[in-house]
Amino acid sequence: MYKILNKGLIILLFAISSSNYVFGNLPENISELVDSSAPAVVNITAKKEVSQRSSYGYGGIPDEMLERFGIPREFRDAPQQKREAVSYGSGFILKDNYIMTNFHVVEDATEVVVSLSDRREYIAEIIGVDQLSDLAVLEVKGKNLPTVDVGNSDELKVGDWVIAIGSPFSFDFSVTAGIVSAKGRSIQNNNIGNYVPFLQTDVAINPGNSGGPLFNLEGKVVGINSQIYSRSGGYQGLAFAIPINVAIDVADQIINSGEVSRGYLGVRMSEVDSDLADALGMKKPYGALINDVEEGESADMAGLVPGDVIIEFDNKEIKFSSDLPHVVGQIKPDSRASAKVIRDGKQISLDFVLGELPINNETFIPAKTQSSSDPIGLKVVDIDRDNPSMANMPDGVIVSRVNPNSAASGKVNRGDIITMIQYKGKKFDVNGVDSFNEALNNFSSGNKIAIHLIRNGSRLITSITLN
């Protein structure tokens, strides 16, 4: 009996010790942190003008009745009516009279009202926005406004405790807490996310929290709550915040110059899977695989070519293709940077002078009739240069058929243009059906080859294991 009690006591002491270890870094009273930080947090009300058309047409008569009388649609459509809509969000006073929030909080707003915790209200002016980072800078004409202390998001570690203050569902100045779940997340939402290495947290975030600050336990802002992952519209344990280091850079550019500029390589890229890694002579799948290089841009001038894999850029490791825009986008145009690249199974170094990310990038290129043999499950044909629609196409062959359940099935599509085949350190240019077949003669069953192709104007690289 004594032994059992003694054993239970040891377990209890261990549990208490572990609990103290886990929660030892938490402040004794989170309310102290909130009291010192909350005054600089603001509630944002954005008024917008929206248009709507009545579901009933002309004179309120249902469409089906008007159709019976042959009244044309242009006469029975009710005119669009404008009405005022209101949306809510959060923000914080960064410095001077400048306030940071999300772009989507104030998008298309006709009036923005900022409310402080001491009940002061101001009409805010939108100084500038950056849609790619989902950030906006506002300015108010107030006196003696409290400001936040800014931290360093690069110093955050997975598992660190963080606290959010905001106005979910317009419940002003609500406080929630959680931990950093991951760093460097890449998410896509209306082109937002390509250039933001998001912080993932499990802090309870809901509509209305957008634009509000994320604090560390020192009471310093380390992020801006921006998005949630939800199938219901409410919190489901996945929240994403913009790192404050990224936000400060954007804010400074907006305040100083009115716009945001980012570095630009001019490449299209994809992930390296295990099969592609084998085909490209790599020991493991990692890095950003270059599918295409834009003529005349930074990557082209530096000598980057399709099939290269960038594993490090500006002294920062590139584990996934999504890491590259995060790194490049934070470098100023015309800056110099170096990269480590895997080419033909060997590591090389390249030096770049970065271009500037264009606002709209739509620059990139898109097949007589001799059929090839069918060694990998597809048939190809030569490009007909006598056809005006094909005259400017790049050298290669057009895929005319992909056999179901073949090695190429699911990897290559009908209409793709194959331009090159790569295996380990060897590259075989494809200029026609003959060169395509000659290239395949160099491989044997079980070899993993990389197929360079053009699909809908975009260059891609895919792997195929030969049967």
Q: Phi first, then psi: what are they for 155, rounded to 5°?
A: -85, -10
Q: Any idea what DSSP says for residue 367? A: -
Residue ranges in 207-243 assigned as alpha helix (H): none
Residue 452 annotated in active site: no
In 3-state terms, what secondary structure has residue 200?
A: strand
Both structure tokens of 73: 């649609």
- Taking alpha carbons only, the member of 341, 331, 338, 336 closest to residue 353 is 336
Cβ neighbours of residue 278 closer than 8 Å, sequence gap 6 or more: 448, 463
CA distance 444 to 461: 20
Q: Please, are residues 280 and 450 in contact by the beta-carbon 8 Å criterion?
A: yes
Q: Any idea what DSSP says for residue 339? A: E
Residue 230 annotated in active site: no
CA distance 93 to 357: 29
Burial of 167 (0-12, 13-18, 19+ CB in 10 A): buried
Q: Please, are residues 307 and 288 in contact by the beta-carbon 8 Å criterion?
A: no
Cβ neighbours of residue 184 closer than 8 Å, sequence gap 6 or more: 197, 198, 323, 326
Catalytically annotated residue among 37, 104, 326, 406:
104
Catalytically annotated residue among 167, 210, 298, 406:
210
CB atoms within 10 A of CB 364: 16
Could you tell me whether strands 220-228 and 149-150 are parallel, antiparallel, or unpaired per DSSP bridges? Answer: parallel
Q: Which helix (H) or strand (E) holds 302?
A: helix 298-302
For residue 180, the one-letter residue type is: V
CB atoms within 10 A of CB 227: 22
CA distance 221 to 148: 7
Q: Any idea what DSSP says for residue 80? A: P
For residue 204, the one-letter residue type is: A
Q: Please, are residues 378 and 406 in contact by the beta-carbon 8 Å criterion?
A: yes
The secondary structure of the chain in percent helix, strand, coil, rounded to multiples of 5, reads 20, 35, 40
Q: Please, are residues 279 and 448 in contact by the beta-carbon 8 Å criterion?
A: yes
Residue ranges in 134-270 assigned as alpha helix (H): 244-257
Cα-Cα end-to-end distance for the chain: 68
Q: Please, are residues 432 and 397 in contact by the beta-carbon 8 Å criterion?
A: yes
Catalytically annotated residue among 87, 133, 134, 372:
134
What amino acid positions are annotated as catalytic residues?
104, 134, 210
